[in-house]
Amino acid sequence: SQQGEEDPQALSIQEGENATMNCSYKTSINNLQWYRQNSGRGLVHLILIRSNEREKHSGRLRVTLDTSKKSSSLLITASRAADTASYFCATDAGGAGGTSYGKLTFGQGTILTVHP
Amino acid sequence: SQTIHQWPATLVQPVGSPLSLECTVEGTSNPNLYWYRQAAGRGLQLLFYSVGIGQISSEVPQNLSASRPQDRQFILSSKKLLLSDSGFYLCASQPYYGYTFGSGTRLTVV
């Protein structure tokens, strides 16, 4: 079954508004990562939050992690048309001795459209 | 910083034909390497990963195979393509935390 599930599947907002995307997962994790994908391109790493962290910021991005609820959120503040893309969360289950080998399980993604 | 070169960008192949997709990494050494497939612009499915030369692990049974003949080269192959092999194939590298992805190959099997 899919580890990461994003919500909503699609989000449409106006430029300047904030965009919030949520991700839920099922098993214990070592870290959770968010990626962005422009149409037909490769994914770009945005931010990583470790299981012992609760919040992290990077520019206009804010990520929270609630391990008790097995959920994370990505907030993009003051959105721009250039933020239009698909956003994916991905979980690294870790494991003893790093036995996950860095394998990530990706969610289905949220398609964000920011209208100028 | 590392760069992933992946080619070709698009490929149309007939059913039953062979496949070879190549991925090379620059700017790092001894990375973990991964092949993912993405269907219809949605979630990514891990196909293979490699932690070193000649070391390949398969995540799902399928018509594909992978090889890592050099530290920074990762190849995805098939002897006979199926229609169901169509999709967007992405190579990724992870030296520490956070993946760097290639630009992907869109494969259409006809």
**What tens digit of pLDDT does each residue of A60-81 get?**
999 999 999 999 999 999 999 9
Q: How many CB pairs below 8 A link A and B? A: 65
The mean pLDDT value of chain B amounts to 92
In 3D space, the residue among A18, A20, A14, A15 whose CA is nearest the CA of residue A6 turns out to be: A20
**What tens digit of pLDDT does each residue of A14-40 get?**
999 999 999 999 989 999 999 999 988
Over residues B6-20, mean pLDDT: 96
Contact residues of A toward B, CB < 8 A:
2, 31, 33, 35, 37, 39-45, 48, 86, 88, 90, 92, 101-109
pLDDT band at A91 (very low <50, low <70, confident <90, very high): very high
Nearest to A42 among B59, B94, B104 (CB): B104
Nearest to A42 among B46, B59, B101 (CB): B101
| Tokens matching residue A65 | 């992690």
Answer yes or no: is pLDDT of A2 > 50: no
- CA angle at A48 for the pair A45 and A51, rounded to the nearest 5°: 155
In a mutational test of the A interface, the residue from B50, B51, B99, B106 whose CB has the highest number of chain A CBs within 10 Å is B99
**A contacts of B4 (beta carbons < 8 Å):** 42
| Residue A113 CB neighbour total at 10 angstroms | 14
The whole-angstrom distance between B44's CA and the closest CA on chain A is 6
**B40 touches A: beta carbon within 8 Å:** no
In 3D space, the residue among A109, A90, A102 whose CA is nearest the CA of residue A6 turns out to be: A109
**B94 touches A: beta carbon within 8 Å:** yes
> Could you please report the per-residue DSSP string of B44-108?
EEEEEEEEETTEEEESS--S-EEEEEETTEEEEEESS--GGG-EEEEEEEESSSS-EE---EEEE
Tell me if B32 and A108 make a contact (CB, 8 A cut-off).
no
